[in-house]
Structure 1
Amino acid sequence: MYPDLYKGLGLKSENLAAYSSPLVSFEGRMIVPKGQIRLPVQIGTDVVEVDFFIVDVFSPYTAIIGRPWLHTVGVVSSTLHQKVKYPSGGQVLEIVGSQAAARQCLVVAIQHRPKAETSATADNGLWQSKAQHYP
């Protein structure tokens, strides 16, 4: 999770648990997270607790959800079709990605200058369910 989203959620630095193992950024640099926090994430009617690392680096995204969340929810993803499907309440639901938002993130990433110190936020409609929008 990037600082813009963290601050936007009204979370404070005292809410973070210590986490000092370095991560490798998309640019190949070693990044030490500011900390870690566990937050509830709603997908459809299901709520799953997810651990987020707070990293102060540039990204056109607000947060990146990784494999642990995908596995917990039972998601099957298709980057080709920009959608994920997951079981919920005896049925299979799907979240469909936005081509326009993905393209906007790509343009921002290409235009990014490495000297930027703050993270950028993407369009809130990056992923949208057929029934509900997710930020």
Structure 2
Amino acid sequence: MEDFDVRWILIDPGSSADLLQASVIKQMGLELSGLENLGRILSGFNGAATTSLGDVVLPVQAGLVTLNVQFSVVEDLSSFNAILGRTWLHYMTTIPSTYHQMVSFLTEDGKIDLYGSQLAARQCYQIAREVGSSKDG
């Protein structure tokens, strides 16, 4: 994204929004003051609501394809730095496979397969568990 290698991205076909952590914006050297559509309320699958800080459009490169994506910027998203949802999946005409932890899409040059990392998935899961247990305590 925006010439930065962003790690720990969740591809979520169940998400209707593309989300990005505010800390990622800061690490890119971008200002949160330049966000648009401030204060939109987003609701999660568990019914919890969070208010976005605003929207930002950033180029996202997947393989050889670059697509401008409108992200809703939020604080404390999860253990992931970004969530790419149905909007990105549809524009990329991507086929996600949770079983294989990959996405596939066609380009003019042929099929591209992008694979996730089993280690990164375990690390994100562990972080989410630790954060969840600390909130309960």
- TM-score, normalised by the number of residues in structure 2: 0.77
Q: Identity of paired residues, percent?
A: 33
Aligned length: 115
Q: Does 1:41 align with 2:43?
A: no
What RMSD over aligned residues (CA atoms) do the two structures have, in Å? 1.7
Alignment of 1:5-20 (within 5 A): 5-20=24-39
Q: What is the distance in 2 between the residues matched to 1:40 and 1:8?
A: 16
Deviations 1:68-99 (A, max 9, x none): 11110110000011000001124111000101
Aligned to 1:92: 111
Deviating 4+ runs (over 3 angstroms): 25-28
Contact residue 94 and residue 105 of structure 2 kept, 8 A = yes
1:67 to 83, 86, 89: 86
For structure 2, list consecutive stretches of 5 or more residues without a partner in the other structure.
1-19
Amino acid paired to 2:30? L
Distance 1:32 1:70 in 2: 23
Which residues of structure 1 form unaligned runs of 5+? 116-135
Q: Which has the higher contact order (CA 8 A, sep 6+)?
A: 2
Please give the per-residue CA displacement for 1:24-59, whole angstroms capped at 9, x wherever unaligned.
246642111000011111112211010100111251
Matches within 5 A, 1:23-42: 23-25=42-44, 28-42=47-61
